């Protein structure tokens, strides 16, 4: 019987090993998923957009931090006009209040916002006001690009920054002249756009690309099982409403925006010379090129010394003797380095970092490599 137990254990171990081997083979045979994105994150649907609104108004109730009326005549005129509308005549009065500030009110009208709903607004000082903290925005009409009034704003202003000062010192944190009013505007006019009854709609790519547009159209056609989508150009895709979705375009867009594709992108290197920031795209490649970098640095330092006469000496005086030290470094140790042809972005970055360069030097080298025709990418300088 001991031999039978050993055979059973050996068979069990063999079966477990076979199962683990099969699972490992299945796991390793699965291809790695490419980086995909939802169509919802790549395009904007026609008509589903915000609209910018702007208005001019007054903030009152400031604790002496408002506009000085002598330096801000528009604030004085607005205050007088407002008081006249309320039945108060101040044309011949010498107004000296510092509790009022002229402001610009901005906000984005949400898509398909209905009359009576609310929206957030931002309030920014227009004159020489020091702070909007504690102020209240008076009724302010918000206009669209066509001059029509789409919303009316009013309410207490919430300011994130603050400012305080004394006789000999002051402190300011954040921006106290900019505030926000949550749900501070009531929408009075709706934008007429009937999405429900449309027979076709356009999809606008946020990053125009021919390959990405074709992939999106192909994914939509596979989903609908018909030629419903057609890429008109790198930035636009036309979607015709299929027969089985007639009168229900919302359901179609809901399904389409969840489809996933792999977006393509142009090989690009973005450079910000002011901050030394370098951003490289995934497909940036460089041909084999030799790079040398070096600068002549001259350092001049002054270390003057004081020379004093010996003790009890006659006729001696204390003088300052100049001592100048000049050094020159031509970085002769820097040699010509070889950057091999890169297959991936990781190899390119690794090759450039091997030169021991800082961001500023790397920017110059990338531009020189591009000029030599060895960088297969577009360089965009911000």
Domain co-membership, 289 together with 377: yes
Measuring CA to CA, which residue among 214, 219, 211 is closest to residue 231? 214
Cβ partners under 8 Å of residue 330, min gap 6: 294, 296, 297
pLDDT of residue 72: 87
Domain co-membership, 55 together with 180: yes
Burial of 369 (0-12, 13-18, 19+ CB in 10 A): buried
Residue 194 in tokens: 């009937």
Please check the confidence at residue 29 and state whether its pLDDT lies above 50.
Answer: no
Domain that holds residue 76: 51-187
* 239 contacts 201 by C-beta, under 8 angstroms: yes
Domain co-membership, 235 together with 339: no
Domain co-membership, 279 together with 167: no
Domain co-membership, 252 together with 273: no
Please check the confidence at residue 343 and state whether its pLDDT lies above 90.
Answer: no
pLDDT of residue 256: 93
In the predicted model, what is the mean pLDDT of residues 120-146? Answer: 94
Residue 374 in tokens: 């060895």
Domain co-membership, 224 together with 180: no
* 52 contacts 83 by C-beta, under 8 angstroms: no
Measuring CA to CA, which residue among 181, 123, 144 is closest to residue 52? 144
Query: Coil, helix or strand for 276?
Result: coil
Chain centre to alpha carbon of residue 213: 24
Characterise 330 by phi-psi region: left (phi > 0), alpha (psi -120 to 50), beta (else).
alpha
Measuring CA to CA, which residue among 152, 158, 157, 101 is closest to residue 130? 101
241-253 b/e (C-beta count within 10 Å ≥ 16 → b):
bbeeeeeebeebb
Identify whether 38 is part of a domain.
Answer: no
Which secondary-structure segment (H or E) carries 82? helix 73-85
Identify whether 43 is part of a domain.
Answer: no
Identify whether 29 is part of a domain.
Answer: no
CA distance linking residue 313 with residue 306, whole number of Å: 17
Domain co-membership, 367 together with 273: yes
Please check the confidence at residue 296 and state whether its pLDDT lies above 70.
Answer: no
Please, what is the Cα angle at 206 between 113 and 34, to 5 degrees?
A: 120
Q: Which residues pair with 378 in a beta bridge?
A: 268
CA distance linking residue 235 with residue 203, whole number of Å: 8
Domain co-membership, 165 together with 289: no
Please check the confidence at residue 178 and state whether its pLDDT lies above 90.
Answer: yes
Domain boundary among 145, 161, 187: 187
| Count: domains in the chain | 3
Q: Give the rounded percent of residues in the chain with a pLDDT score beyond 90.
A: 41
Q: Give the rounded percent of residues in the chain with a pLDDT score beyond 70.
A: 75
Please check the confidence at residue 70 and state whether its pLDDT lies above 80.
Answer: yes
Please check the confidence at residue 95 and state whether its pLDDT lies above 50.
Answer: yes
Going by pLDDT thresholds of 50, 70 and 90, the confidence category of residue 203 is: very high
Domain boundary among 159, 187, 215: 187
Domain boundary among 187, 210, 240: 187
Lowest mean pLDDT segment, chosen from 16-25, 173-182, 312-321, 340-349: 16-25
pLDDT of residue 244: 87
In the predicted model, what is the mean pLDDT of residues 269-276? Answer: 82
Please check the confidence at residue 126 and state whether its pLDDT lies above 70.
Answer: yes
* 162 contacts 63 by C-beta, under 8 angstroms: no
Measuring CA to CA, which residue among 138, 110, 135 is closest to residue 49? 110
Domain co-membership, 279 together with 339: yes
pLDDT of residue 345: 60
Domain co-membership, 170 together with 237: no
Domain co-membership, 244 together with 279: no
Identify whether 213 is part of a domain.
Answer: yes
Identify whether 355 is part of a domain.
Answer: yes
Identify whether 10 is part of a domain.
Answer: no
Identify whether 32 is part of a domain.
Answer: no
Please, what is the Cα angle at 170 between 169 and 175, to 5 degrees?
A: 165
Burial of 140 (0-12, 13-18, 19+ CB in 10 A): buried
CA distances from residue 122 to 138, 141, 188, 246, 363 in whole angstroms, order as listed? 14, 13, 18, 41, 38
Domain co-membership, 363 together with 253: no
Measuring CA to CA, which residue among 347, 375, 365, 359 is closest to residue 293? 365
Residue 175 in tokens: 């921006």
Please check the confidence at residue 171 and state whether its pLDDT lies above 90.
Answer: no
Please check the confidence at residue 286 and state whether its pLDDT lies above 90.
Answer: no
Identify whether 221 is part of a domain.
Answer: yes
* 348 contacts 342 by C-beta, under 8 angstroms: yes
């Amino acid at each position: 019987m001991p031999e039978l137990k050993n055979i059973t254990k050996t068979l069990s171990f063999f079966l477990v090993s076979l199962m683990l081997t099969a699972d490992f083979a299945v796991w390793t045979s699965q291809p790695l998923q490419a980086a995909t994105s939802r169509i919802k994150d790549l395009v904007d649907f026609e008509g589903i957009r915000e609209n910018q609104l702007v208005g001019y108004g007054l903030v009152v109730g400031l604790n002496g931090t408002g506009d000085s009326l002598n330096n801000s005549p528009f604030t004085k005129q607005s205050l007088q006009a407002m008081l006249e509308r309320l039945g108060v005549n101040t044309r011949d009065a010498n107004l000296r209040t510092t509790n009022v500030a002229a402001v610009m009110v901005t906000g984005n009208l949400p898509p398909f916002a209905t009359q009576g709903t609310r929206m957030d607004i931002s309030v920014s000082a227009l004159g020489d006001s020091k702070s909007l903290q504690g102020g209240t925005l008076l009724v302010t009409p918000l206009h669209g690009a066509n001059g029509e009034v789409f919303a009316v704003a009013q309410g207490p202003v919430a300011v994130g920054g603050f400012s305080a000062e004394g006789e000999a010192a002051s402190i300011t944190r954040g921006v106290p002249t900019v505030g926000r009013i949550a749900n501070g505007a009531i929408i009075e006019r709706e934008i007429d756009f009937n999405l429900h009854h449309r027979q076709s709609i356009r999809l606008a790519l946020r990053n125009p690309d021919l390959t990405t547009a074709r992939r999106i159209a192909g994914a939509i056609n596979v989903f609908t099982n018909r030629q419903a989508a057609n890429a008109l150009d790198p930035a636009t895709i036309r979607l015709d409403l299929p027969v089985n979705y007639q009168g229900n375009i919302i359901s179609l867009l809901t399904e389409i925006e969840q489809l996933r594709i792999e977006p393509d992108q142009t090989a690009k290197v973005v450079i910000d010379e002011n901050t030394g920031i370098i951003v490289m795209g995934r497909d940036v490649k460089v041909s084999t090129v030799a790079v040398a970098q070096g600068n002549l640095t001259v350092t001049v330092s002054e270390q003057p010394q004081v020379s004093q006469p010996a003790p009890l000496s006659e006729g001696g005086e204390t003088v300052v003797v100049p001592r100048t030290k000049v050094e020159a470094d031509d970085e002769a140790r820097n040699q010509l380095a070889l950057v091999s042809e890169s297959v991936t972005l990781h190899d390119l970055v690794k090759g450039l970092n091997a030169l021991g360069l800082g961001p500023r030097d790397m920017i110059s080298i990338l531009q020189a490599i591009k000029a030599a025709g060895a960088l297969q990418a577009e360089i965009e300088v911000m």
